[in-house]
Chains A and B, each alone.
Chain A
């Protein structure tokens, strides 16, 4: 057990959390940042065996010079309190860590939206971002035959990185029709960074990049896992041999902690005002958790949240960057809207809830999520519905159920130990 006290606590060390911590610490506050990962950077700036990406380095250096304290490997499982006296409990290395702070910034990021299809539980089928996280974690992908499918600019960004690491990109299948994406590339050209690299990389793929195609099923057997994937455009089906399939249908904001603390959530994202204040006093939020809009917006919102948490004046440049980025994100969300065929519940026999092995035919679309949980145990396993309930929300329009503590599964020894 250990206790850390700070004026400002930040949950998440991605672009939003780091920039919030920098601004609050530079304004004179003591700052503690809790993050579940190995190092600064969150998912988008993930780095382990290789150095962090160039765009991350200035922020990581600034963070390290700011005096803010990083508590990595810390999974927050309990939160309580109010402005002036927030209390977080986390599991860190199998032990309990407590943090007390006056103001709290939620920069909890987003996770991938994974939609079930026959074969998606085979070893070898991962999230597209998941595949990226694994190779950035040291998994050698050279020579592997990879298919990426789903929707959004992340697919191309991941493909580009995998190709650089020596993987053979067999196909990148974007479910959105080409017509929806036309003209969109031009708007992206105004933006630097990974997204643009992905768009450039698209040209090198040639016919291996397809629009209007999606996954019908994945085939494989037992432990050997994935052997091929069947793609379809609704009329034709084509089977491609591969050893890795990365899927991504967009991102889902992580709002569990915000909802647990009573903050207002609208449209699946934490609601925040111009100063990144949530509906709860002393509780701020920034980045993807407030709606998926990318790293530039996360950096802008993080700075605004950090300044608010420190009681300092807002930075007009950051506010302008946020508003610009949010407008682009809305356009992007429209361009990559999921087609009905992709959102349709999968055929009978397909596992929907991977933790409890609940299959599609066990669920009734007319239920509410609470009923479904009680009848079938869907969403009641280790991931606490983060995968399947998000998928059911996208497929059936189900609302998320209420959040309960512990917010992450933790060993009983940690749960029962006292501050």
Chain B
């Protein structure tokens, strides 16, 4: 397996396999709640293909990025909820 890369999720450093989607990496690290719904419910990925927007997170300061359409990158900073 390739050397892991490091991403920062809500201030916590995670070592993840390179080449995967951010949604896959977060799920693999045990993150289930990606965003908070209008009524305050935790939500995570649903469609996996950019349609439902339930996996929205902030990536390197850019809000509302769909985690299923982002590739993990070394040093990527992610904020959930």
Contacts and interface: CB of A to CB of B under 8 A. Distances in A.
Interface of A: 36-38, 43, 48-49, 73, 75, 94, 111-112, 114, 121, 123-127, 129-135, 137-140, 222-225, 351, 354-357, 381-383, 386-387, 409, 411
Contacts of B43: 121, 123, 354
26 contacts: A36-B50, A43-B49, A111-B47, A114-B52, A121-B37, A123-B33, A124-B44, A126-B45, A130-B48, A131-B48, A134-B68, A138-B21, A139-B24, A139-B28, A222-B42, A224-B32, A225-B32, A225-B33, A354-B37, A354-B52, A354-B54, A357-B38, A386-B52, A387-B46, A411-B62, A411-B64
Given A121-B41, A409-B53, A94 B62 contact: yes
Contacts of B20: 48-49, 137-139
Interface centre among B25, B34, B52, B56 (most CB of A within 10 A): B52
A48 B49 CA distance: 13
A414 B70 CA distance: 18
B28 A140 contact: yes
A225 B41 CA distance: 11
A129 B45 CA distance: 12
Contacts of A123: 32-34, 42-44
Given A123-B42, A132-B48, A355 B53 contact: yes
B41 to A, nearest CB: 6
A225 B34 CA distance: 12
B78 interface: no
Nearest to A43: B49
Contact of B51 (A121, A140, A224, A383): A383
Contacts of A386: 51-52
Contacts of A138: 17, 19-21, 24-25, 28
Given A48-B19, A139-B24, A354-B37, A387 B48 contact: no
Given A126-B48, A134-B24, A134-B45, 12 more contacts: A48-B19, A49-B20, A75-B50, A111-B47, A131-B48, A134-B27, A134-B48, A140-B28, A354-B46, A356-B38, A357-B39, A381-B53
A223 B42 contact: yes
Contacts of B15: none
Contact of B21 (A112, A131, A137, A382): A137
Contacts of B41: 121, 351, 357
A162 to B, nearest CB: 13
**Looking at chain B, what size class is its interface with the partner chain?**
35 or more
A95 B37 CA distance: 27
B7 interface: no
A122 B69 CA distance: 21
Interface of B: 17, 19-21, 23-25, 27-28, 32-34, 37-39, 41-54, 56, 62, 64, 68-69, 71
Contacts of B32: 123-124, 223-225
Contact of B48 (A49, A127, A225, A351): A127
A383 B48 contact: no
Contacts of B39: 357
A185 B21 CA distance: 35
A114 B28 CA distance: 24
A377 B12 CA distance: 36
B69 A73 contact: yes
A387 B19 contact: no
Contact of A383 (B25, B44, B53, B69): B53
Contacts of B68: 133-134, 137
A382 B53 CA distance: 6
Given A137-B23, A138-B17, A382-B56, A129 B49 contact: yes
B78 to A, nearest CB: 15
Nearest to A109: B49
Contacts of A223: 32-33, 42
A34 B66 CA distance: 18
Contacts of A75: 50
A351 B39 CA distance: 10
Contacts of A49: 17, 19-20
A135 B17 CA distance: 13
B56 to A, nearest CB: 7
